[in-house]
Amino acid sequence: MNRNQTEAEDVQAELLDRLPDRAQRPSRRLSGRQKAAIIVRLLLANGATLPLSGLPEHLQAALTEQIGSMRLVDRDTMMAVVNEFVDELESVGLSFPGGIDGAISMLDGHISANAASRLRRLAGASGKADPWERVANFDSERLIPVLREESLQVGAVMLSKLPVARAAGLLERLPGERARALAHAMSLSAGVDPETVRRIGLALAAQLESQPPLAFDSGPVERVGAILNSSPSATREEVLAGLAATDPEFAAEVRRAIFTFAHIPERVPPRSVPAVLRAVDQAQLLPALVAASAAGGRLAASVEFLLGNLSQRMAESLREAMAETQAPAPRAGEEAMAAVVAAIRLLEAEGSLSLIAADTAAAAVGS
């Protein structure tokens, strides 16, 4: 064996010795973006749903460009990247939310509302957070004035950026003429560019966050309506008459917020009646039905509506039980009917029942 052949074999042996170690770490040749692209491609190929829309837009763009520039990756490289990714995940001891918005959400309830508001303003000034996420976090009582007082174009953009169910709930609470005008303005907003939408969101978020925190979880309409819901009918009508004399618009909103036993035929979907009666305390159901029947008018109509949307056998059984039940005292009858209303409200809060909107019900009755 000559000297050249011996040297060649020595070099070959040295390369073979090094090969396994090099083969285990081919990912060293890749950038962080390339590794991320490989992981994302692999997860998508296996049917995973990735919340990539939660990333800042510049990172979404960079990842998309990187995926578009890559072609083939050999199996060893792919497995090395996966192993490295898994190793990093397993070595994580703690993870933080990333960004001021995430930190504020994590500390919700542990820091004061004023501090949270100031931090959100700082986050908005950085321009990195999505302003519409901040706008959507405000309760309806803070957003309704925006829809009433801001220009139609601004209101239309806000409704378009909010979740559909949330936007529908806000639109329902506006006067009919204003709601129609906003809906028409939405039809004209197709040509608004993304940067303008973002600037509107930043302005609204700053405006809303500059307001001091509210002392009450609900607005005055809801608070007055909840109180009157639990008041005797005579007291309720007297208060509403006084409100109508001093502030007709507020009185009209309170009336829409009120839901009593008399409103059952207008607001409760017929298919939900069996669930409602199952949810009522049986010790209160019969006195409520008897008291309402004896009162006549709209209260008696509510009883007929409830019985008319039950099976014939159950309706007859209840009618027989009502005939054998002594009429309760007026106060007890009011409390029993209030218990039926409370059961309906509880089903609504649980999501088991959706009440018909007050304006829709009024329009149906008017027609």
| Residues of the chain above pLDDT 90, percent | 21
Give CA–CA dist 205/239, Å, rounded. Answer: 37
Tell me which residue range forms the domain holding 346. 259-366
If asked whether residues 314 and 292 sit together in one domain, one would say: yes
More confident residue, 192 or 367: 192
Average pLDDT over residues 196-205: 87
If asked whether residues 168 and 241 sit together in one domain, one would say: no
If asked whether residues 273 and 352 sit together in one domain, one would say: yes
Average pLDDT over residues 304-332: 92
More confident residue, 292 or 5: 292
Average pLDDT over residues 306-327: 92
Q: Which of 64, 90, 116 is the last residue of a domain?
A: 90
If asked whether residues 361 and 294 sit together in one domain, one would say: yes
Q: Is residue 242 part of a domain?
A: yes
Give CA–CA dist 218/235, Å, rounded. Answer: 22
When divided into structural domains, the chain yields a total of: 4
- Summarised one tens digit per residue, pLDDT across range 37-89 is 898 898 888 888 888 877 777 788 888 999 999 988 888 888 888 888 888 88
Return the minimum-mean-pLDDT range out of 64-78, 117-131, 305-319, 333-347: 117-131
Residue 319 structure tokens: 């009618």
Give CA–CA dist 102/133, Å, rounded. Answer: 11
**pLDDT over 90 (residue 307):** yes
Give CA–CA dist 29/360, Å, rounded. Answer: 65
Q: Model confidence at 100, in pLDDT bands (50, 70, 90)?
A: low
**Closest to 132 measured CA to CA, from 163, 105, 153, 103:** 163
If asked whether residues 162 and 229 sit together in one domain, one would say: no
Q: Which of 227, 254, 281 is the last residue of a domain?
A: 254
DSSP state, residue 327 = P
Within 8 A by CB and 6+ apart from 254, the residues are 221, 224, 225, 228, 240, 243
- Dihedral, CA atoms, 301, 306, 309, 313, nearest 10 degrees? -110
Distance from the Cα of residue 5 to its chain's centroid: 76
Q: Is residue 124 part of a domain?
A: no
If asked whether residues 266 and 341 sit together in one domain, one would say: yes
Q: Is residue 25 part of a domain?
A: yes
If asked whether residues 236 and 319 sit together in one domain, one would say: no
Q: Is residue 156 part of a domain?
A: yes
If asked whether residues 340 and 263 sit together in one domain, one would say: yes
Q: What is the CATH number of the domain that holds 339?
A: 1.10.220.30
Q: Is residue 103 part of a domain?
A: no
Q: Is residue 235 part of a domain?
A: yes
Residue 326 structure tokens: 């002594």
Maximum separation of any 2 CA atoms in the chain, in Å:
120
If asked whether residues 54 and 136 sit together in one domain, one would say: no
Q: What is the pLDDT of residue 212?
A: 63
Q: Which backbone phi and psi does 307 adopt, to 5 degrees?
A: -70, -35
CB-CB neighbours of 222 under 10 Å: 16
Q: Which of 90, 115, 147 is the last residue of a domain?
A: 90
| Residue 138 burial class via C-beta count within 10 angstroms: exposed 0-12, middle 13-18, buried 19 and up | middle
If asked whether residues 286 and 361 sit together in one domain, one would say: yes
Q: Model confidence at 18, in pLDDT bands (50, 70, 90)?
A: very low
Q: Is residue 43 part of a domain?
A: yes
Q: Mean pLDDT for the chain?
A: 81
- Residue keyed to tokens 């509510």: 302
| Residues 60, 17 contacting (CB under 8 angstroms) | no
Task: Report helix angle 152-161 to 140-149, nearest 10.
Answer: 150
Length of the chain, please? Answer: 367
If asked whether residues 282 and 353 sit together in one domain, one would say: yes
Q: What is the pLDDT of residue 123?
A: 59
Q: Is residue 58 part of a domain?
A: yes
If asked whether residues 361 and 281 sit together in one domain, one would say: yes
